[in-house]
C-alpha cells in the first residue's frame, strides 16, 4: 500500500544525477504528499541544476517507480539547490560569471526576427554602435551561429586574443565583438548540432572577458529554434527587440518570436520596422516597396512600441574606415539609429 513513508523509501534510493549520491544523502527530497482518494503522489525535489536532460531522466524514473507502486498520477516539482546546499552535499559550486548573476548591471538585449532577410544583423550592429556613441559601454554577441555576419558588417579584420584561458573580444567603433566567425576558417559553414551550439553560446558568456558593460546585444538566429531558446534560458533577464519588414506576412511570422519572448518572461522593448520605404534622392518621394503597416500591426499585437521605421539606404562605402553595414555621420540612417538608441536608453535606465 502506497503512503508517504513508502514514497520516501522509493525516492530516497534514487541517485542525484549531479552529486552522484542518493537523494536521501543530498537532502534532495523536500516535500512528499499522498492523496489516497485520488491515488495521487506529489513531490518536490531539489537538484544542483534544473531544466536539464538529467532532470528529465530522473523525473521519468520517479514517475515510473511511483506508478509501479500504485500511484495513478504523479505531480513533480523541481527546485534548484543553493550553493551552500550543494557544498553541504559534497558538490562543487561553479561561480556564476558576474555577467550572468541576477544582480548584474548589464542590460541584455536580444535582437530577434521571425525569418531571415529582414536586416536583423544590420539593426544589431548599428544599434550597438549608436549606443556606444551615446557614451555607453557596449558588447555584441553574434549568436546567429549559422549565419554569422557581424564581424564582416562592422569591418572587423582582427581576431580575439586569448590569455590565461580567457578570450578577449575584438573592439570596433567602441563596441566589443565576439562571433562564431572568429573560430572557423575562411567562412566555412557550421554543421554542428544543437548541443554543440549551446556550448559555444555558453562559452561566449562565461569564457569571454567582457569587462564592464552597460549593454550586451545578441544577434539571434531567425525564428524560435534551439539557439533562441538557449539564450532565453541562459540569461538572468533579457529585453528583446523584434525586427520585421513592413510586409504583413513578415510581421505575422515575426509575431512568433515575440510570443516566445513573452512565454519566457523576457520584456519586449519594441519593434523596429526595417526597409520601410525607399526615398528618392532626386524627387524626395517615398516608395513603399515592401508594403506598409507591418511594423505597426506587430507592435500592436505584442502590446509594445514601434521604436522606428528605417528606410532603405546604403552606407557610404568610399570611407577610408571601411565597414559595409555601419551608418556613420553623413548617412541618412545615422540619425534614425541614434534616435532609437536614445529611446532604448530611456526605457532601460
Q: What is the largest CA-CA distance in the chain?
A: 86
Phi, psi of 133 (to 5 degrees): -60, -30
Q: Which residues pair with 46 in a beta bridge?
A: 79
Task: List the grid coordinates of 44.
Answer: 518536490
For residue 265, the model assigns a pLDDT of: 65
Q: What is the DSSP letter of 331?
A: B
Rounded Cα distance between 305 and 50, Å, is 34
* pLDDT recorded at residue 191: 46
Residue 96 confidence (pLDDT) = 66
Distance of CA 311 to the CA centre of its chain: 27
Please tell me the distance from the alpha carbon of residue 123 to that of residue 326, in angstroms, as a whole number: 9
Q: What domains does the chain contain, in order, with CATH numbers? A: 4-88 (3.30.300.130), 98-348 (3.40.50.300)
Surface-to-core class of residue 299, CB atoms within 10 Å of its CB (0-12 exposed, 13-18 middle, 19+ buried): buried
Instruction: Determine which helix (DSSP H) or strand (DSSP E) holds 20, and give its type and residue range.
Output: none
- Type and span of the H or E element at 304: none
Structure-block grid coordinates of residue 281 = 534622392
Q: Are the CB atoms for 66 and 41 separated by under 8 Å? A: yes
Residue 180's closest CA among 216, 218, 226? Answer: 218
pLDDT attached to residue 12: 95
Task: Write out the chain's pLDDT in tens, 349 residues.
Answer: 899 999 999 999 999 999 999 999 999 999 999 999 999 999 999 998 888 888 999 999 999 999 999 999 999 999 999 888 988 888 876 666 677 777 788 999 989 887 778 899 999 999 999 999 999 999 999 987 767 889 999 999 888 888 877 889 999 999 999 988 887 766 555 444 444 555 677 788 888 899 999 999 999 877 655 556 666 667 767 899 999 989 877 777 777 666 666 666 678 899 999 999 998 888 888 899 988 888 998 898 888 999 999 999 888 877 777 788 999 988 889 999 999 999 999 999 8
Amino acid at each position: 500500500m502506497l503512503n508517504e513513508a513508502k514514497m520516501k523509501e522509493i525516492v530516497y534510493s534514487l541517485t542525484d544525477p549531479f552529486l552522484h549520491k542518493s537523494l536521501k544523502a543530498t537532502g534532495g527530497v523536500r516535500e512528499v504528499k499522498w492523496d489516497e482518494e485520488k491515488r495521487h503522489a506529489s513531490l518536490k525535489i531539489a537538484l544542483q541544476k534544473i531544466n536539464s536532460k538529467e532532470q528529465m531522466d530522473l523525473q521519468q524514473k520517479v514517475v515510473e517507480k511511483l506508478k509501479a507502486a500504485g500511484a495513478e498520477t504523479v505531480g513533480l516539482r523541481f527546485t534548484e539547490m543553493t550553493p551552500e546546499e550543494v557544498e553541504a552535499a559534497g558538490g562543487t559550486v561553479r561561480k556564476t560569471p558576474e555577467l550572468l548573476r541576477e544582480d548584474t548591471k548589464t542590460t541584455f538585449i536580444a535582437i530577434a526576427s521571425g525569418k531571415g532577410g529582414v536586416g536583423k544583423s544590420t539593426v544589431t550592429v548599428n544599434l550597438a554602435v549608436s549606443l556606444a556613441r551615446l557614451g555607453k559601454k557596449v558588447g555584441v554577441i553574434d549568436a546567429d551561429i549559422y549565419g554569422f555576419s557581424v564581424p564582416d558588417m562592422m569591418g572587423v579584420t582582427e581576431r580575439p586574443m586569448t590569455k590565461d584561458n580567457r578570450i578577449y573580444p575584438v573592439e570596433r567603433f567602441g563596441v566589443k565583438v565576439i562571433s562564431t566567425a572568429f573560430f572557423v576558417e575562411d567562412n566555412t559553414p557550421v554543421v554542428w548540432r544543437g548541443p554543440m551550439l549551446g556550448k559555444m553560446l555558453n562559452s561566449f558568456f562565461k569564457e569571454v572577458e567582457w569587462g564592464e558593460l552597460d549593454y550586451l546585444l545578441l544577434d539571434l538566429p531567425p525564428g524560435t529554434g534551439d539557439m533562441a531558446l538557449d539564450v532565453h534560458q541562459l540569461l538572468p533577464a533579457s529585453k528583446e527587440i523584434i525586427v520585421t519588414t513592413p510586409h504583413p506576412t513578415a510581421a505575422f511570422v515575426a509575431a512568433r518570436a515575440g510570443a516566445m519572448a513573452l512565454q519566457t518572461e523576457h520584456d519586449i522593448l519594441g519593434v523596429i520596422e526595417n526597409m520601410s520605404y525607399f526615398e528618392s534622392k532626386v524627387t524626395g518621394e517615398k516608395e513603399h516597396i515592401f508594403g506598409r503597416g507591418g511594423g505597426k500591426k506587430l507592435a500592436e499585437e505584442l502590446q509594445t512600441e514601434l521604436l522606428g521605421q528605417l528606410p532603405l539606404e546604403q552606407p557610404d562605402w568610399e570611407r577610408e574606415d571601411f565597414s559595409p553595414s555601419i551608418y556613420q555621420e553623413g548617412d541618412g540612417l545615422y540619425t534614425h539609429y541614434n534616435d532609437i538608441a536614445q529611446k532604448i536608453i530611456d526605457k532601460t535606465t
